[in-house]
Amino acid sequence: MSIRLRLLLVSSVLLVLPLLAAQFVGRMESFLRANQEQSIRATSRAIASALSDRQALFPAAKEIDAEDEERRRIVALFGSADPDAVASLGPAYVPSQEVERFLDIMGRRSSRVWVVDTRSRVRGLSGNLKESAQTAKSYGSLASKPFYSLLRPIISVVVSTPQVPAGDETTPVRAQIDRALIGVVSTYWRGTRDSNVAILSAAQPIFIGDDIVGAVIVEETTGSIQILKESALEDLLAVTLAVVAGALAILLVFATRLTRRIHVLHREADHAIDEQGRIRGTITPSDARDEIGDLSRSMSAVLGRLKDYNAYLEAMAGRLSHELRTPVAVVRSSLDNLKAEPLPASARVYLERAGEGVDRLSRLIARLSEATRLERLLESAERERFDLGKVVAGCVEGYRATYPARAFEVSVPEQPLPIDGVPDAIAQLLDKLVENALDFAPEGTSIRVGLVKREPSGARLSVENDGPTIPDAMLGLLFDSMVTLREGEHLGLGLYIVRLVAEFHGGRVRAMNLPGGKGVRFEVEVQ
C-alpha cells in the first residue's frame, strides 16, 4: 500500500467529526424540546392562574339565544386568527369577547391558546400554528438550494426526528381536555402532516375557588426547533465537509510531494549501481531539513564512500602489479646470477624451483595489470566502424590454429554487421570467453561461437561449451573483479575484462546454464 493511500485512509478519520456533530445537534434538539415542554406548561399555568382571578368570565350556565350565538360564531370566524380551527369546531365554539381579548394580551404569536368551559364549549381561541409553518416555508427556500438539497438525505440518515403519533392540527386532543376538566395537568405530543414537525400541547384546569370552571390548552409546534436543528446541522456539515475536503486535499498534495521525493531518491539509488554492483552514478543530496532530506544526504555520503572504496579495490590489482614488478625483477636477476656461479647439483635443484616460482609470480603480476591496461586503453581508444562478424570469424580461425585438438563451431551472419567500437577490445573479449570455455569443456566436445543481429540495432555474441554448470548464486557474480570458480593461478579477472569491454560498447554480459545441465552459455550484447 502506497504512502499516499495510507495518508488518505488516516485522514478519513476526520469523517467522524460530522457524525459527532450530528449527535450533538440531536442531543441539542432533545434538550430544546424538553425546555419547550417546560415553557409551554408554565405558560398554560400562568394563563389559568390569570383566568382564575376573573370569575365574571365564567358565568353560571344560562340559556343563550340561538341567533345571538350564531351571530357571535360568524363574527369570530371572520375575526379569528385561525379560521380553520374555528370552522372545525362548529356549534362547540361559543366565543367570549372578554376571554378572547384577554388571550390576545396573554398569548404568544407562535402559540395557539384555547379556553374551554366545563360544557366542553370553546370560550376563547387566540393565535394559530401557521406562523411556524410560514417560517419553515421561508426556510425551505434556503434548503431548496442545490448544496443543501444534497445534504438533506445525509441529515435524515445521521439525525432522525423523534416520531410522535399523528393527530388533528386544527383541534386539541379531546382526552387531554377531559383530563384537564377533572383537574389533571398534562402535556401531549402529536404529529402533523409534516413528518418533521410535531405539536406540543399543555392543558391546565381553571379553578375558581375549589371548583373547576374550565381548562386552558396552549399549543406550539416544533417548527422553530426543527428549523434551528436543520440550519445548524446543515451549516455544521457544510463547514465540516469543507474542512475535511480541504484537509484531504492538503494531505493529498503532501503525500504526492512526499512520494515524488521518495521516488526520485529510489530512482537515483537504483541507477547509481549497475547490475554488476559497480557504482556508476550519484545521489543528489537534498537541502530539505526533514527526515527524507537527512536520508538522501546520508545515502549520498555512503554512496560516495563506497564509490571511493570500489575504485580503490579496482585499482588495487594495478598498484600491486606495479609494486611487485620491481622486487620480482630483483629476485629474477639474482637467480640468473646464481645460475652463472658454480653450484653443487643439490643446490641447483632449489635454484630451478625458485626460478619456476618467480615465473608463476610474473604471470600473476601480468594478469593483475591486464585489467588496468585494458581500462586505460578503453579510456584513450578512438571508436571506429568495423564489421563485427569479420572480427569474430577471424578470431575463431586463430583458435583453430592455436588449439588443433579442439573443435570450434562458428555461426555468423552472411551480411556485414557493422558496429562502432574498438576491434582489439572485442577480440580480447572473445579470447577470454574462449579460454574460459576451454578450461571447462570436456575433451572431445566443441566450443560453439555464435553471432546474431539484434533489433533494432546491435548484435549478440555467444559462446557455449559443454561441461559443469555454474551455481545459481554465482551467475551474477562471475563478472566481478577477483571472482573465479577455478583454482590455481587464476585470479578471476578474465570475465571481469569481458564485462569492461561489453560495457564500453554500450552492452552487457550474462551467464546462463544450458537446459538439462549440459553446459554453460555466455552472452554479450553490444550496440
Residues 371 and 481 in one domain: no
* DSSP H or E run through 69: helix 66-79
Q: Please state which of the ranges 44-58, 162-176, 340-354 shows the lowest mean pLDDT.
A: 162-176
Q: What is the pLDDT of residues 180-237, one digit of tens each?
A: 888 899 988 887 777 667 888 899 999 888 888 889 999 888 777 777 777 777 777 7
State residue 76's pLDDT score: 46
Q: Please state which of the ranges 182-196, 397-411, 483-497 shows the lowest mean pLDDT.
A: 483-497
Residues 130 and 198 in one domain: yes
Give a yes or no: residue 461 inside a domain: yes
* DSSP H or E run through 394: helix 388-402
Please say if the pLDDT value at position 153 is more than 70: no
Contacts of 337 (CB under 8 A, 6+ apart): none
Residues 370 and 401 in one domain: no
Average pLDDT of the residues of the chain: 78
State residue 280's pLDDT score: 75
Residues 370 and 403 in one domain: no
Is-contact 380 415, C-beta < 8 A? no
Residues 333 and 457 in one domain: no
Across 480-504, average pLDDT: 75
Residues 356 and 389 in one domain: no
Query: Cell 369546531 maps to which residue?
Result: 89
State the DSSP code for 56.
G
Inter-helix orientation angle 494-504/423-440, to 10°: 150
Specify which residues 199 forms β-bridges with: 190, 221
230-244, 291-305, 307-321, 335-349: range with highest mean pLDDT: 291-305
* Intra-chain end-to-end CA distance of the chain, in Å: 39
Please say if the pLDDT value at position 515 is more than 80: yes
Residues 423 and 513 in one domain: yes
Evaluate if pTM is beyond 0.95: no
Q: Please state which of the ranges 24-28, 71-75, 386-390, 461-465 shows the lowest mean pLDDT.
A: 71-75
State residue 446's pLDDT score: 92
Lookup: cell for 522 = 555466455
- Final residue belonging to a domain, choices 380, 405, 433: 380
Please say if the pLDDT value at position 511 is more than 70: yes
State residue 163's pLDDT score: 59
Q: Please state which of the ranges 10-14, 275-279, 516-520 shows the lowest mean pLDDT.
A: 275-279
Residues 322 and 427 in one domain: no
Residues 306 and 239 in one domain: no
CATH label of the domain that carries residue 24: 3.30.450.20
Residues 468 and 478 in one domain: yes
Across 432-445, average pLDDT: 90
Give a yes or no: residue 65 inside a domain: no
Across 383-404, average pLDDT: 91
State residue 490's pLDDT score: 61
Q: How confident is the model at residue 142 (pLDDT cuts 50, 70, 90)?
A: very low
Please say if the pLDDT value at position 506 is more than 70: yes
Domain that holds residue 10: 3-56+91-244
Residues 371 and 389 in one domain: no
CATH label of the domain that carries residue 326: 1.10.287
Q: How confident is the model at residue 75 (pLDDT cuts 50, 70, 90)?
A: very low
Number of structural domains found in the chain: 3
Q: Return the percentage of the chain with pLDDT > 90, whole number.
A: 12
CATH label of the domain that carries residue 521: 3.30.565.10
From 179, 147, 65, 54, select the one nearest 105 (Cα to Cα): 54
State residue 79's pLDDT score: 44
Is-contact 526 421, C-beta < 8 A? yes
State residue 78's pLDDT score: 42
State residue 54's pLDDT score: 78
Q: What is the pLDDT of residues 83-109, one digit of tens each?
A: 566 556 656 677 777 887 888 777 676
- Final residue belonging to a domain, choices 216, 244, 272: 244
Residues 392 and 448 in one domain: yes
Is-contact 135 227, C-beta < 8 A? yes
* CA angle centred on 313, ends 307 and 317, rounded to 5°: 145
